[in-house]
Amino acid sequence: MMILGFVLALLAIIVFTFLAVVAIYNRLVSLRNRVKNAWSQIDVQLKRRHDLIPNLIETAKGYMQHERETFIRVTEARAKAMGAGSTGSLKEIAQAETTLSEALAKFLLTVENYPELKANENFLRLHEELTSTENRIAYARQAYNDDVLALNNKVEMFPSNIIASIFNFAKADFFELENKSERKAPQVKF
Amino acid sequence: MWELIERNKQRSLWLFVALFCVLLVLGGLIGETIVPSETPFMGVGFLGGILTAIIVSSILGAIAYWTGDDIVMSVSRAVLVTKEHHPQLYNVVEEMQIAAGLERMPEIYLIADDAMNAFATGIRPEKSAIAVTAGLVERLNRDELQGVVAHEMAHIVNRDVLFMSFAGVLLGCISMAGEGFLRGFFYGRGSRRSRIGGGRTHPIVLLAALVFAILAPLLARIFYFAISRKREYLADATAVRLTRYPEGLASALEKISGDPIDLEGYNRFTAPLFIVNPLEGTTTNRRNLFSLGATHPPTSDRIRILRALSGASFRDYQSAYMKVTRAADLFPERMLRDKSIVPLRQMNESEKVAESSRKTVKERHRTVGDALLAANGFTFLPCICGLTVKVPPALGKANIACPRCGRLLFLPNAEVRPLERGYETQSPAVDASLAYTRKGGNQWESFSCSCGHPIHLSPLCRASFIECRNCGRRIEIRSPDTTR
């Protein structure tokens, strides 16, 4: 009788442990997928910005003949950011994108001196798109970093850290843009 | 953050279960008094009452579930808008969708009303939508609009509409049953009087039923409104989590509550959905006895809490709430376990500058008005004299004379045809799948793409193809002399 009770208790413990492991494992997988998904969202928005820039410059060129330097700076920053996006690490991407943001901000600041361009319907539309894209990048980054934090907490904390190390769940990197204020859209007036 | 929302769902479930139990007990007691049985709580009356309560509430619940979203939209006279109609509004909503990590983009509706208000629906997740009034889009800046949209997005993420509509159905059933029973008991004459409590009912059962019929609707209502107010606070807190910029929502609420124009398209049932309840005097800011029956917290309190925030986490919101209202805690302890610091952000630089030189009120009014017209199916025909003629959808004519210069303008009618296979376009680089042949002559021409989107060609247009702004199809433009 004693042995039967002992075996039953042991069995219950094994079943319970197994269920707990399954639950934690599934939780980790869903967190990892969420991080992946959030990253792809950032990626989409960064690409969207890269696609917008040629149009923007094309529209502005006709009005701003004397701003070759600004155009070149933006174009170069864009090329670099696109290069980093295809090969670079998270840090390199962040750096290149920050440079691009700054170049864009400068470009939009010079637009101030061209009231005709500011009145251009097409430019206004592109500008709203650019503002929105900057916001989207910021919000996608915010969601991504939240997800990364949740995953990293699970990977580090007991008891999920045991399962994480058995099944090789690694911590994910945060995506930080090097800006003083939490986030910054290009400075432009209308 | 998402775990908090999961827990929040469980809480709502408790409210739901509690209301349902109250309804069942009430139904049973009423049934028992109408059809008394020898052994109380075992007979046909009691069980029949419970069964009736279950059936009636399920039917009403099903109706709310399947048609609720459409009913709300039609009561509010809202029209569906796309990105093409109002790009900024669309962008703001999409940004919030990204911030909330929502998989599906909610539909956007514009309400033709000069008052300022907004609401979200989404009893079914695949039908979630955000509706804003024209007045709101017109008079808020981008950050404020963002705040309002974030609040509505929070309602969608928290599944507030679903729980509150089902709880509302249960509340309605409880009130209906309680009121009906009391009326039948006190005012019933003759045959009905003899039926209810006709001598055979146990007096204790009768007393219990009476007390319950009086108290249950009252308590359920107070309970329901308390939860509703809590959910508004939660939506505010979640909105700040999403935007990290409380001032946007705060100044939007200030503008909405200070707005003298009254909303027209709402009723008693849709009023609680709005960001500021149009039924409740928005200028009253005192917590009086009446506020027990208010679906929304006092707007002034909400604004003060938002302005007192030092961070974007729920803990920060809780401490600001306690400071402003001097009330006990707002969120349950479980929601505050996450101690991570969520910083706020500064005002957008672009928004700071935009404030100084925004479009004039008239221009903004026109932009929103045009968006409404376009969403209602109006066709915009540009005339060479500079006027844009806005033609209603059911004109029934193929052309219209420009009211300013008298030139004939042609309404777009499907004149594009798919290209036959093997035909080479005039410019090989263009992979056009449609073609339109110009009429020639010195006037604007309009046609519609096969997706239905109208396209207008200026008389000066020399392009050999054009891209449809709606569907992205490339349409080849042929001059009249090259027609085969």
Active-site residue among B32, B144, B152, B232? B152
B 55-94 near A (Cβ less than 8 A): 87-88, 91-92, 94
A34, A142, A184: residue with CB nearest B349: A184
Confidence at A131, pLDDT banded by 50, 70, 90: confident
Query: At A121, is the pLDDT very low, low, confident or very high (cuts 50, 70, 90)?
Result: confident
pLDDT of residue B418: 54
B41, B209 Cβ separation under 8 angstroms: no
Residue A186 within a domain: no
Q: Per-residue pLDDT for A19 more than 90?
A: yes
The partner residues of B390 in beta bridges, in order of sequence, read B380
Query: What integer pLDDT is reported at residue A179 of this predicted model?
Result: 55
What pLDDT is attached to residue A8? 92
Tell me which chain B residues have a C-beta less than 8 angstroms from the C-beta of A128: 87-88, 91
What count of other Cβ atoms lies within 10 Å of the Cβ of residue B185? 18
Please give the interface size between A and B, counted as residue pairs whose CB atoms are below 8 Å apart: 74
b/e per residue, A103-138, with b = 16+ CB within 10 A?
Answer: bbbbbbbbbeebeebbebeebbebbbbbbbbbbbbb
CATH number of the domain within which A79 lies: 1.20.1440.20
* Structural domain containing residue A138: 2-166
Whether residue A181 lies within 8 A of chain B, CB to CB, comes out as yes
A187 in a domain, yes or no? no
DSSP state of A186: P
In order of B112, B242, B261, B288, B373, the CA distances from B378 in angstroms are 15, 36, 27, 48, 5
Residue B240: per-residue pLDDT:
92
What is the separation, in whole angstroms, between the first and last Cα of chain A? Answer: 85
From CA B122, how far away is CA B68, in angstroms rounded?
9
Angle A182-B233-B174 (CA atoms, 0-180°, nearest 5)? 155
Query: Which one, of A91, A49, A50, A88, lies nearest residue A178 by Cα?
Result: A91
Residue A39 lies in a domain: yes
Q: How much is the pTM?
A: 0.79
Would the CB atoms of A190 and B353 count as touching at under 8 Å? yes
- Whether A182 contacts chain B with CB within 8 A: yes
Quick check: is A172 in a domain?
A: no
pLDDT band at A17 (very low <50, low <70, confident <90, very high): very high
Contact status of B105 with chain A (Cβ, < 8 Å)? no
Answer yes or no: is pLDDT of A11 > 90.
yes
Chain A partners within 8 Å of B357 (Cβ):
189-190
Contact A184 B344 (CB under 8 A): no
Instruction: Choose from A139, A160, A175, A180 for mutation: most chain B CBs within 10 A.
Output: A139
Predicted pLDDT of residue B338 = 66
| B179 in catalytic set | no
**Predicted complex ipTM:** 0.78
Please say whether the dihedral angle defined by the alpha carbons of residues B415, B421, B426 and B429, taken in this order, is positive or negative. Answer: positive
Q: CA of A40 to nearest chain B CA: how many angstroms apart? A: 11
Cβ distance B91 to A135 less than 8 Å, yes or no, reads yes
Cβ distance of B91 and A149 shorter than 8 Å: no
Residue B149 is predicted with a pLDDT of 95
Q: How far apart are CA B45 and CA A157, in angstroms?
A: 57
Domain assignment present for A48 = yes
> Which of A44, A131, A188 is the best substitution to test chain B (most B C-beta atoms within 10 A)?
A131
Number of domains in chain A: 1
Q: Is the pLDDT of residue A128 over 50?
A: yes
Q: What's the mean pLDDT in A165-188? A: 67
Q: A10 — contact with chain B (CB < 8 Å)?
A: no
Q: Cβ contacts (< 8 Å) between A190 and chain B: which residues? A: 353-354, 357-359
- Closest chain B C-alpha to A41 CA, distance in angstroms: 8
Give me the average pLDDT of each 10-residue run along chain B (484 residues): 62 80 87 72 78 90 86 84 88 91 88 89 84 90 91 89 85 87 72 51 79 87 84 90 90 88 76 78 46 76 89 84 79 68 66 52 81 84 82 78 82 58 44 71 74 76 77 76 51
Q: Is residue A160 part of a domain?
A: yes
Q: What per-residue confidence (pLDDT) applies to A61?
A: 82
Whether residue A59 is contained in a domain is answered as yes
Does residue A40 fall inside a structural domain? yes
Smallest CA-to-CA distance from B116 within B252, B248, B247, B238 is with B252
